[in-house]
Chains A and B, each alone.
Chain A
Amino acid sequence: DIQMTQSPSTLSASVGDRVTITCRASQSISTWLAWYQQKPGKAPKLLIYKASSLESGVPSRFGGSGSGTEFTLTISSLQPDDFATYYCQQYNTYFVTFGGGTKVEIK
C-alpha cells in the first residue's frame, strides 16, 4: 500500500497567516490526491481533489498543488473557521490511504 506522510503534525498560526501543509507519498500518485478538513466531532469535508481542483463551495483561500510524490495545501489567509485538522488522501489505487493529519491550532 502507498504510505502518505503529512507535515507538520501540528501547526500554530494566527488569523491572517499564510499556512502550508505538506503531504508526501511513498510512490508516485500522479495528481490523484484529495484534501479534507475535519473539525472536532464532525465528519471530514472534501476541500480539494485531483491535487488542485477546488470542491464546489470551498473558499478560494484554499489551494492545492503538487504532483508525483509531493503535495501542498495552502490557506492564503487563515480565518477563524479554518482551525481544524487536515488530511490528505491518495487515490492512485483502489486501496486508498490517508495521511496522519495536520492539526492547525490558534497561536
Chain B
Amino acid sequence: EVQLVQSGAEVKKPGDSLKISCQGSGYIFNSYYIAWVRQMPGKGLEWMGIIYPGDSDAIYNPSFQGQVTISAGKSISTAYLQWSSLKASDTAIYYCARAELLTSGSYFFDYWGQGALVTVSS
C-alpha cells in the first residue's frame, strides 16, 4: 500500500527555521516525484515545488523560489520542505503528494500525505 507519512504539527515564532518531512513507503520512492502543496487557512491549494528523489532535482513555483528549500534523502525515502526564517504568513497546512512525470511534461497527484499544520505566531 502506497503511503506518504508527514511529520507532525509545528508551532514556531517569526524568524525561526523549520524542516518538515514526508516519508514514502509501499513503492519505489526514487522513481516518482514528490511535490509540496500549501493550503492557507480556509483557502485553496497552491503548488510550491517538486523534486525527483532519484537525482534531487527540484523545480519551484516562482512565488516560493527563495522562500523555501525542497530536498530529499533517497536512502531513507523521505522528502523535506524547509524554511530558514518563518513569517506569520507561512501559517498553513503543507501537503506532500506523489506524482509521475507524464508525456505532457507535467503531473497530477495520486497519493497525498496527511498534511502538516505549521503555525507561526509571536
Which stretch of B11-19, B75-83, B101-109 is in the interface? B101-109
A32-B104, A91-B106, A95-B61 known; A43 vs B45 contact (CB < 8 Å): no
Q: Is the CB of B44 within 8 A of A96?
A: no
Chain A contact patch, size range: 20 to 34
Q: Return chain B residues, CB-CB under 8 Å to A36.
A: 45, 109
Within 8 A of B (CB), among A4-58: 30, 32, 34, 36, 42-46, 49, 55
Within 8 A of B (CB), among A52-92: 55, 87, 89, 91-92
**CA A32 – CA B114 in complex, angstroms?**
25
Q: Return chain A residues, CB-CB under 8 Å to B10.
A: none
- Residues of B that sit less than 8 Å from A by CB: 44-47, 50, 59, 61, 95, 97, 102, 104-115
